[in-house]
Amino acid sequence: MITGTKTVIITGGTRGVGRAVAEHLASLGYNLALSYVSDDASAEATRAAIAASGAESLIVKGDTRNRANVEQLFAAAKERFGDIYGVFANAGVENVEAPFTEMTEEELDRVVDINFKGTFFTLQQAARSVVDGGRVIATSSTIASYPPAGSGAYAATKAAVRLMVQVLALELGPRGIAVNSLDPGAVEGAGIFTHMSDELRQAFYKQTPMGRLPRASDMAGTVAFLLSDGAAMVSGHNLAVTGGFRI
């Protein structure tokens, strides 16, 4: 059990939802260990924002598809901060739209390697590293529940994330570790939202009772809740942070 400052590892933590979560957790006093693949400018901007809030951060360049990179991230975080309280497995690739008959092996490998293998390696290391009573969170997708045509590979990998989370919740439950996945849907200003036509955006708005799509700040608040003491008994769930999309 951790009584001092808690440390959270976030993969894909320097852009989009990952960065919003990191900066929000920094404002709450967490230590952050973040990974990213290639965008050095975003990594430096995230580092500066966290420092401005008075929090501590460690930012590591590495690819979650590489098990050794994931192990190095966790080792560096433990060396810098000590015990690991929580992990947010957020790194992923956007949907590669292609019918089953047209998806290439290279496209399939990329989606599976990043969304499935990368998440598996992160959750595997989380299971080995997170302290008793800690938290593990992974990012799924609305597409796992409502798959459009052309999303076969992506939808399958995001559905797999939910199943991994359920299995890990069973395995880590005896240690008091809560494990959940998040379903962010289309987040305003990030991911697939930036590629949508105005017509498609309006269709999403009409199917969302809250009248807007979730923002990165909504995801950050949900992650903070799942890390809190109040969420100790929330485990094995997929939380849809979608404003009621398609209910």
Residues assigned a catalytic role = 154
With beta carbons less than 8 A apart as the criterion, state whether 73 and 32 touch: no
Residues 6+ apart with CB under 8 A from 129: 74, 78, 84, 87
SS3 53: coil
d(CA 211, CA 227): 28
For the chain, the distance separating the N- and C-terminal CA atoms, rounded to the nearest angstrom, is 39
- DSSP string of 162-192? HHHHHHHHHHHGGGT-EEEEEE--S-TTSGG
Which of 123, 87, 128, 118 shows the shortest CA–CA distance to 226? 87
Question: Which amino acid appears at position 51 of this protein?
Answer: A
d(CA 191, CA 64): 19
Residue whose tokens read 């992506």: 154
